[in-house]
Amino acid sequence: MSFMRDIHWQNPEQLGRAVRIRRQEKGLSQSALAAQLGVERKWVIRLEAGNSKAELGLVLKALDALDIRASLGDEKPFSPGQDNRVSEPSRLDEVFRQLQRSGRK
């Protein structure tokens, strides 16, 4: 049983902790995960420590190998007593639409 649930990561350290927890839940050593990813063990150590300069492609590959789902969102923090509605579509919405269109071709 996994202790993972939907978590909003706000920094590389939180992502690193999530990777470490899932790797341990799956019974993988850092070396085993590194071998799966085609990287050195020190890369996994740095990722788990919250390396903010880790290559995005490798981070996504690590998340996939550990069955961690990642998603992007465009949210402002909720402020009680203030109007928290989004007034206009985000630029991210347009980027996602373009990516979906190019994926269909």
- E strand residue ranges, 23-63: none
The whole model's pTM is what?
A: 0.66
Q: Distance from first CA to last CA of the chain, Å, rounded? A: 39
Query: In the prediction, which pLDDT does 1 show?
Result: 44
pLDDT of 9 reads 73
* pLDDT (average), residues 43-70: 94
Please check whether residue 34 is in contact with residue 41, taking contact to mean a CB–CB distance below 8 angstroms: yes
Q: Taking the domains of the chain in order of start, what are their residue ranges?
A: 1-73+88-105
pLDDT at 100 > cutoff 60: yes
Supply the mean pLDDT for the chain: 81
Q: How far apart are CA 75 and CA 9, in angstroms?
A: 12
What are the structure tokens assigned to 56, written together?
């995005």
Helix axes 41-48, 56-65, angle to 10 degrees: 90
* CATH annotation of 1-73+88-105: 1.10.260.40
d(CA 91, CA 79): 22
